[in-house]
């Protein structure tokens, strides 16, 4: 008796899936592309590895050399049995139509912004009028005094790192993963220049309570755990969950009291002019206070500083690791950068913000690494209404994006397009010589492009100038490995944390 019932249920489920699939095909106007079981953006799609029937999370990188040619278009679709239909584009022209020309008709949907919204609404996750309010208050914090502060703190943290790691005593340093150091460096800069909290390289406090740096480190590493774990899971004695939970609570309490303290300081005007007030958080609190009711409430203030950490920590750290990996392979480019560093910082001093524009060849190395491994690698948008895109670059056709279909800009694809970047697998910083900051496409396109670009460039150029001046950077080979094999092994992109980047980069640093 139950066998026919089960069969009937299965048949109905199967029919539903097939109908959904067919409707998905129609919703993407039958654009060629992936036809798969799990949507590449769904939980299962992400968890399962990238194989030919499951694009997963890493096809952007692994299939970059052939996938668009294979489907005959730089704008392709994905229709799956489980998960909504998607459009991917690796055409800079189509990306501009979405993010510049039609920017008012696209928004960032809450489901694609879950990670950034853990702490409260903020400039990255919000849309329309709410976004305008956030932007108005956050915008002015990103300007000269903050960048000057970033340059000073970068120099200070670099010395602390060299001392703290005891590299100052060594002629040669071999590391299995430079990423660890650079990620910690980027976190330190965000902690100091974003939150206004000092971040000692070596934490020698005897205190058993979790320190701010420790909490920050756990929280950044725990974003994924926090996102994926359902609330009831916290009832169980799972060590990792407990730790992440404790770190979140600790940070929330610290930040709430920090907001109160900053407001009190501003009210009594005891805060001295100078570097102490130039962190993003203090500038944000002061701008929000000035706006009164039209400003940001405490949760939004905290949401925004967290969004800077989310957007500014891993992105900059990964790009720095990629720059050193590529400079280790391309010694001639390393020499060119070094020559400029000696010219600009001839007296052996540390770079200041004023030097950044003169260190353009060093900046170009960072920029070319950011092209090779664009940390902000997928930009999601949903349409509010039917939007017609012109695919003339590929074909004489248009594509209608209906509401309910997410369009995903594939930044890896765009930045490895041989029409825009001839011989894309070659590291060639000269591609970026003379390019304005506003034209750096790996920071995004249009009104929602990266607000932290100058922050990132200042941090990156300072660290690279100091490090390359003191150390020659080389590949750290395994026994019997050739440089070509090292490149094949190490120069691979993927999700590292929540951003895209190069995995562990083994290097040898030799004192110059
Ligand atoms: C190499 C480093 C970085 C890269 C590659 C990068 C990339 C990007 C990209 C591609 C976007 C656009 C996202 C979209 O359109 O959906 C973006 C937005 C943003 N970035 Fe960055 N970013 C970097 C560093 C930073 C830093 C250091 C900060 C802050 C301190 C920051 C803060 C932001 C914010 C707040 C937004 C949202 C802007 C808005 O919606 O108006 N980024 N970033
Ligand atoms: C296709 O679009 C229609 C109309 O907007 C919608 O009802 C349907 O759910 C969509 N199909 C899929 C698979 O998303
Ligand atoms: C699409 O763009 C091309 C080139 O910019 C232009 O010649 C063509 O008229 C456009 N087509 C439509 C339908 O807008
Ligand atoms: C492109 O399409 C338009 C209208 O669909 C047509 O008038 C035109 O002749 C086509 N151009 C080419 C080069 O096929
Ligand atoms: C955005 O589009 C996706 C389909 O890719 C859909 O699942 C989701 O519900 C849409 N979001 C909103 C808020 O409409």
How far does residue 390's CA lie from ligand 4's centre (Å)?
Answer: 12
Ligand 2 atom with minimal separation from the 84 CA = 14
Q: Give yes or no for residue 276 CB within 6 A of ligand 3.
A: no
Q: Which residue has its alpha carbon closest to ligand 1 atom 16?
A: 379
Residue from 241, 278, 238, 286 nearest 261 by CA: 286
How far does residue 92's CA lie from ligand 3's centre (Å)?
Answer: 15
Q: DSSP letter for 129, please.
A: H
Note the pLDDT tens digit of each residue in 159-182.
Answer: 999 999 999 999 999 999 999 999
Please report the sign of the dihedral spanned by the C-alpha atoms of residue 65, residue 69, residue 75, residue 77: negative
Phi and psi torsions of 176, nearest 5°: -85, -25
pLDDT of residue 237: 83
Q: What is the 3-state secondary structure (H, E, C) of 130-156?
A: HHHHHHHHHHHHCCHHHHHHHHHHHHH
Q: Give yes or no for residue 392 CB within 6 A of ligand 3.
A: yes
Cα 337 from Cα 364, distance rounded (Å) = 9
Instruction: Report the half-sphere exposure of 360 (CA within 13 A, side-chain side).
Output: 10
Ligand 3, residues 93, 389, 390, 396: which to mutate, most atoms within 8 A of Cβ?
Answer: 390
**Pocket residues: Cβ below 6 A from ligand 1:** 123-124, 135, 194, 307-308, 311-312, 315-316, 319, 370, 374-376, 379, 442-444, 448-452, 455-456
Ligand nearest to the CA of 461: 1
Ligand 2 atom with minimal separation from the 79 CA = 13
Beta strands 33-38 and 75-82, pairing class: parallel
Cα 72 from Cα 401, distance rounded (Å) = 19
Ligand 5 atom with minimal separation from the 382 CA = 1
**Pocket residues: Cβ below 6 A from ligand 5:** 84, 86, 109, 111, 382, 404-406
Ligand nearest to the CA of 389: 3
Burial of 332 (C-beta count, 10 Å sphere; 0-12/13-18/19+): exposed
Cα 272 from Cα 263, distance rounded (Å) = 14
Residue from 226, 218, 191, 221 nearest 114 by CA: 226
Cα 485 from Cα 472, distance rounded (Å) = 21
pLDDT of residue 42: 82
pLDDT of residue 370: 98
How far does residue 306's CA lie from ligand 1's centre (Å)?
Answer: 13
Number of H helices, E strands in the chain: 18, 13
Ligand 1, residues 376, 377, 378, 464: which to mutate, most atoms within 8 A of Cβ?
Answer: 376
Cα 383 from Cα 26, distance rounded (Å) = 16
pLDDT of residue 276: 62
Note the pLDDT tens digit of each residue in 342-360.
Answer: 999 999 999 999 999 999 9
In the structure encoding, which two tokens stand for residue 88, read together? Answer: 């991917």
Beta strands 471-475 and 75-82, pairing class: unpaired
Burial of 489 (C-beta count, 10 Å sphere; 0-12/13-18/19+): middle
**Contact in structure between 151 and 458 (CB atoms under 8 Å):** yes
Ligand nearest to the CA of 94: 3
Query: pTM for this one?
Result: 0.94
How far does residue 397's CA lie from ligand 3's centre (Å)?
Answer: 9
Cα 95 from Cα 75, distance rounded (Å) = 10
How far does residue 350's CA lie from ligand 1's centre (Å)?
Answer: 26
Q: Give yes or no for residue 390 CB within 6 A of ligand 3.
A: yes
Cα 313 from Cα 189, distance rounded (Å) = 8
**How confident is the prediction along the chain (512 residues), in pLDDT tens digits per residue?**
788 889 999 999 999 999 999 999 999 999 999 999 999 888 788 788 888 888 988 999 999 999 999 999 999 999 999 988 999 999 999 999 999 999 999 999 988 888 888 888 999 999 999 999 999 999 999 999 999 999 999 999 999 999 999 999 999 999 999 999 999 999 999 989 998 888 889 877 666 667 777 887 788 777 777 777 777 887 888 888 888 888 888 888 888 888 888 888 877 765 555 446 889 998 888 888 888 888 888 889 888 988 888 899 999 999 999 999 999 999 999 999 999 999 999 999 999 999 999 999 999 999 999 999 999 999 999 999 999 999 988 888 899 999 989 999 999 999 999 999 999 999 999 999 999 999 999 999 999 999 999 999 999 999 999 999 999 999 999 999 999 999 999 999 998 888 899 999 999 999 99
Ligand 2, residues 18, 19, 23: which to mutate, most atoms within 8 A of Cβ?
Answer: 23
Ligand nearest to the CA of 97: 3
How far does residue 376's CA lie from ligand 1's centre (Å)?
Answer: 7
pLDDT of residue 200: 85
Element (H, E) at 182: helix 178-189
How far does residue 77's CA lie from ligand 2's centre (Å)?
Answer: 15
365 is in an annotated binding site: no
Cα 165 from Cα 171, distance rounded (Å) = 13
pLDDT of residue 510: 98
**Pocket residues: Cβ below 6 A from ligand 2:** 20, 23-24, 27, 84-85, 402, 404
Ligand nearest to the CA of 443: 1
Cα 315 from Cα 318, distance rounded (Å) = 5
């Amino acid at each position: 008796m139950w066998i026919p019932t089960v069969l009937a249920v299965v048949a109905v489920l199967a029919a539903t899936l097939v109908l959904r699939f067919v409707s998905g095909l129609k919703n993407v106007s039958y654009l060629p592309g992936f036809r798969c079981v799990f949507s590449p953006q769904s939980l299962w799609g992400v968890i399962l590895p990238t194989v030919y029937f499951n694009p997963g999370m890493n096809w952007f990188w692994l299939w970059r050399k052939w996938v668009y040619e294979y489907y005959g278009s730089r704008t392709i679709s994905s229709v799956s049995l489980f998960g909504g239909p998607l459009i991917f584009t690796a055409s800079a022209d189509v990306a501009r139509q979405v993010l510049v020309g039609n920017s008012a008709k696209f928004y960032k949907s809450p489901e694609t912004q879950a990670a950034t919204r853990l702490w409260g609404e903020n400039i990255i996750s919000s849309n329309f009028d709410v976004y305008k309010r956030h932007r108005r208050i956050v915008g002015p914090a990103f300007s000269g005094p903050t960048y000057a502060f970033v340059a000073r703190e970068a120099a200070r943290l670099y010395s602390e790192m060299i001392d703290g790691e005891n590299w100052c005593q060594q002629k040669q340093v071999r590391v299995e993963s430079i990423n660890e150091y650079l990620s910690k460096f980027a976190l330190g800069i965000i902690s100091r220049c974003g939150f206004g909290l000092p971040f000692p390289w070596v934490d020698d406090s005897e205190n058993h309570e979790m320190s701010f740096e420790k909490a920050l480190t756990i929280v950044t590493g725990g974003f994924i755990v926090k996102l994926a774990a359902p609330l009831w899971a916290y009832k169980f004695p799972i060590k990792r969950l407990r730790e992440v939970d404790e770190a979140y609570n600790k940070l929330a309490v610290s930040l709430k009291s920090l907001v109160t303290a900053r407001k009190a300081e501003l009210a009594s005007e005891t805060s001295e002019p100078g570097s102490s007030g130039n962190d993003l958080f203090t500038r944000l609190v002061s701008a929000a206070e000035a706006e009164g009711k039209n400003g940001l409430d405490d949760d939004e203030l905290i949401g925004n500083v967290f969004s800077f950490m989310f957007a500014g920590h891993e992105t900059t750290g990964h790009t720095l690791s990629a720059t050193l990996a590529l400079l280790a392979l391309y010694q001639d480019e390393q020499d060119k950068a070094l020559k400029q560093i000696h010219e600009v910082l001839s007296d052996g001093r540390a770079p200041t913000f004023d030097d950044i524009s003169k260190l353009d060849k060093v900046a170009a190395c960072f920029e070319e690494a950011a092209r090779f491994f664009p940390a902000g690698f997928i930009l999601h948008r949903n349409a509010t209404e039917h939007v017609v895109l012109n695919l003339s670059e590929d074909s004489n056709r248009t594509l209608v994006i209906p509401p309910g279909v997410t369009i995903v800009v594939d930044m890896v694809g765009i930045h490895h397009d041989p029409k825009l970047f001839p011989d894309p697998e070659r590291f060639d910083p000269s591609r970026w010589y003379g390019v304005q900051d506003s034209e750096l496409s790996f920071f995004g396109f249009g009104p929602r492009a990266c607000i932290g670009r100058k922050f990132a460039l200042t941090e990156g150029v300072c660290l690279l100038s100091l490090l390359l001046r003191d150390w020659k950077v080389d590949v750290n080979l395994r026994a019997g490995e050739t440089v070509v094999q090292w490149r094949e092994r190490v120069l691979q992109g993927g999700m590292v944390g929540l951003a895209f980047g190069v995995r562990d980069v083994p290097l040898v640093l030799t004192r110059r």
